Amino acid sequence: MRAIDLSTVTWRKSSYSNPDGGQCIEISPDLPSLVPVRDSKAPHGPALVFPAAAWSAFVTSVKGGRLSGA
C-alpha cells in the first residue's frame, strides 16, 4: 500500500466538536476521491483515509440514525 502525503492538506474540525477539546475529529476536503480523518487532539498523529464514497455512506447512515454503539 502506498503512503499518502497529507502534509499540505487543510483540516476542518467536525461541527459537532466542542470548544473544550472533547472527542473531536478533523477531516480534509482537499482530496477528491479520499477523505483523511484524524483526532484533533493529536494533529501530528496518524490519520485514517477512507474512499470518499465510503465516508459519504457512513455520514449519511449516522445522520439517519442507522448506526448505533456496540
Give the integer Cα–Cα distance in Å for 4 and 38.
Answer: 14
Residue 69 lies in a domain: no
Global pTM value: 0.78
Give the integer Cα–Cα distance in Å for 55 and 28.
Answer: 12
Residue 38 lies in a domain: yes
Residue 1 lies in a domain: no
**pLDDT value for 2:** 78
Number of folded domains in the chain?
1
Q: Which residues of the chain have pLDDT under 70?
A: 1, 18-19, 21-22, 67-70
Residue 2 lies in a domain: no
Give the integer Cα–Cα distance in Å for 8 and 30.
Answer: 9
Cα–Cα distances in angstroms (integers) from residue 49 to residues 20, 53, 64, 70, in the given order: 26, 12, 23, 23
Residue 59 lies in a domain: yes
Q: Domain range spanning residue 32?
A: 12-63
**pLDDT value for 35:** 96
